[in-house]
Amino acid sequence: MSTRELIYEVTLDIEPAVAPEFDDWLERHVGEMLALPGFERADLEAEIEPGDAPRLRRTVRYTVRDRAALDDYFEQHAARLRQAGIDRFGDRLTATRRVLETSPLGDHAHPVLPHCPNCEARLKGQYCARCGQRARRRMITLCELLRDVIGEIFQHDSRVWRSFFPLLFRPGFLTSEYLAGRQMRYVPPVRMYLFLSIVFFVIAFLAGPEGELSLRPGALEWTPPEDAAPAAVDETAGEIADETAAEAPDEVEATEEVFAPLDFECSDIDGELETGLTLLVSRAAIIRSCERLLANPRAFGRAVLANLPKMMFFFLPLLALVLKFMYFGSRRYYSEHLLFAVHFHAFFFLIVTLDILFGMSVRTLHAGAGIASVATAAMIFYIPWYLYRAMRNVYDQHLLIRLVKYLFLVVAYLVSLVIMLLITLAVTALTL
């Protein structure tokens, strides 16, 4: 599989008064960068940045062999080399940096445009120096997209592997790394959260109540082939019915028990509606929602599951607000607490997804339900321990204070989660 090169782009804005001195220094600096392992080439572009106080801009694009070489630069050399520029030019120099990835097919596979379609800037290479848009004449094919994804996953120094292992086994590590400025070597937090939440809800939707893929009565209709023997069809149907009845009596009883409270007339609640509720929603709307729910409870369940990701989207900022209140005197930004919440929930989605998949595998292989139960029990104990360790590693307070805040956070988390779930159920019922 073709490896991708990385483009490490450094944009330097300098005051015109020191431009000659800066250009001499930059030439030596670029030479020093190219002497580092993995830095293969440097392309320099000069322009004037418009504005009330024009500054000269120098953009240097280093072609780096792979991410391992770039990580080695960040860990071993970046701080020293950056400090040299700060010591020499101070606030007369500002720098921004970003990492871009080249196509594994090479620059010649997709001819670039002479000017950026987005901002009309002159193009030199695959990316626009001004806005960062990639300069391609056409969209990539599905094969190229899949090759990029597979290459990113299975590459030995991939950010995926460097992110998911500490996410599972090193509580608070990714949050601390991000806050310390070491961000490029890991999957971005929001991208990780979105990916894991999507995978979790898809698996949860497909998995049955016992942790296996299930097709409940009515979910799948099967029509036998016309040439099938009636006796064979009846025999097969009888075996399936006997097997279902023998293996899942608890599920049937649980289903009946869950829907038993729904055995009432919607008109019965008309006189029990609170005045405060009717100020927000009309009585007729509540009655209609009740009738739709009773007519198709399964559709209501599917709608609730579809709305859960949206609920979590609003729940994360609420949890971050609780953390902000708990650590009010720490002078931490709200975004830091939000980052902690994002990483914790990404961990939650990942470990629960793994538990569901493990349970499905155990049942498919008939390895015994006890193994899956032990794994689930271990997960249930591991999640609160993980939260405690994450708080310890990120916030680092005295043991007694940390325990009090941990208990407060658990209670606030559960209360907030129940409130958000109730709101989700109500909104789903009213919009069904």
Mean pLDDT, residues 19-48: 88
Residue 368 vs residues 17, 212, 243, 372: alpha-carbon distances, Å: 76, 13, 17, 8
Q: Nearest to residue 416, comparing CAs of 334, 276, 303, 311?
A: 311
Report the pLDDT value the prediction gives residue 51, as an integer from 0 to 100: 52
Report the pLDDT value the prediction gives residue 405, as an integer from 0 to 100: 92
- Highest mean pLDDT (candidates 52-56, 68-72, 257-261, 323-327): 323-327
Residue 295 vs residues 115, 262, 300: alpha-carbon distances, Å: 59, 10, 10
Q: What is the pTM of this model?
A: 0.58
Tell me the Ramachandran region of residue 59: left when phi exceeds 0, alpha when psi lies from -120 to 50, beta otherwise. Answer: beta
Tell whether the model's pLDDT for residue 268 goes beyond 80: no
- Highest mean pLDDT (candidates 49-63, 182-196, 261-275): 182-196
Report the pLDDT value the prediction gives residue 288, as an integer from 0 to 100: 73
Provide, rounded to the nearest whole percent, the portion of the chain with pLDDT above 90. 22
Tell whether the model's pLDDT for residue 33 goes beyond 50: yes
Tell whether the model's pLDDT for residue 290 goes beyond 80: no
Return the DSSP state at 41: E
Report the pLDDT value the prediction gives residue 274, as an integer from 0 to 100: 53
Read off the pLDDT of residues 65-122 as tens digits, 9 standing for 90 and up.
Answer: 888 888 889 889 988 988 888 888 988 888 888 887 765 544 444 444 567 777 777 7
- Highest mean pLDDT (candidates 158-162, 216-220, 281-285, 369-373): 369-373
Tell whether the model's pLDDT for residue 14 goes beyond 70: yes
Mean pLDDT, residues 122-130: 69
Q: What is the 3-state secondary structure (H, E, C) of 316-332?
A: HHHHHHHHHHHCHHHCC
Tell whether the model's pLDDT for residue 400 goes beyond 60: yes
Is the CA virtual torsion 213, 217, 221, 225 positive or negative?
A: positive
Mean pLDDT, residues 2-31: 85
Report the pLDDT value the prediction gives residue 431, as an integer from 0 to 100: 76
Mean pLDDT, residues 196-224: 62
Report the pLDDT value the prediction gives residue 314, as an integer from 0 to 100: 86
Report the pLDDT value the prediction gives residue 245, as an integer from 0 to 100: 45
Provide, rounded to the nearest whole percent, the portion of the chain with pLDDT above 70. 69
The larger pLDDT score, comparing residue 112 to residue 318, is at 318
Is the CA virtual torsion 191, 335, 77, 18 positive or negative?
A: positive
Please give the full DSSP string across 395-425, using - where no structure is assigned.
Answer: H---HHHHHHHHHHHHHHHHHHHHHHHHHHH
Enumerate the β-bridge partners of residue 98: 9
Report the pLDDT value the prediction gives residue 126, as an integer from 0 to 100: 65
As given in the structure block, the two tokens for residue 387 are 């939260």
Mean pLDDT, residues 116-143: 69
Read off the pLDDT of residues 406-418 as tens digits, 9 standing for 90 and up.
Answer: 999 999 999 988 9
Mean pLDDT, residues 314-332: 89
Is the CA virtual torsion 313, 314, 318, 320 positive or negative?
A: positive
pLDDT band at 312 (very low <50, low <70, confident <90, very high): confident
Tell whether the model's pLDDT for residue 342 goes beyond 90: yes
